[in-house]
Amino acid sequence: MDCKVIVDKVNNTAIDSTKIWSIISECRKLLVQNPNIRIHFIMRQSNDVVHSIARGAIFHARFKVYHYVPTCIVQTFINELM
């Protein structure tokens, strides 16, 4: 399933009959409990930094907080600033 389809399903209030409905429903519940959180679709080409971080997250088994720009995305980060 396409990422945009998932984002649309989470943000739509309609009931769904797809196989992932239970996951979509849980996501909606979490969003109701956390009203400051929003889910938006942004094309990968429009946000290379986030795509690079997501790709790098595959190699981390635990939750990780960065207090600096990770070296693996420094160049991508600089490119997006220009």
Query: In this model, does residue 32 exceed pLDDT 90?
Result: yes
If asked whether residues 29 and 51 sit together in one domain, one would say no
Say if 22 falls within a structural domain.
Answer: yes
Query: In this model, does residue 7 exceed pLDDT 70?
Result: yes
Query: In this model, does residue 48 exceed pLDDT 70?
Result: yes
Say if 49 falls within a structural domain.
Answer: yes
Domain count of the chain?
2
9 Cβ partners below 8 Å, 6+ apart? Answer: 16, 18, 20, 24
Say if 39 falls within a structural domain.
Answer: no
If asked whether residues 49 and 73 sit together in one domain, one would say yes
Better-scored residue on pLDDT, 71 or 10: 10
Say if 38 falls within a structural domain.
Answer: no
* Domain assignment of residue 64, given as a range: 44-81
If asked whether residues 48 and 77 sit together in one domain, one would say yes
Distance (Å, whole) CA 82 – CA 32? 37
Query: In this model, does residue 57 exceed pLDDT 90?
Result: no
Chain segment 58-77, per-residue pLDDT in tens: 777 777 777 888 887 888 87
Say if 10 falls within a structural domain.
Answer: yes
If asked whether residues 28 and 48 sit together in one domain, one would say no
Q: How confident is the model at residue 1 (pLDDT cuts 50, 70, 90)?
A: low
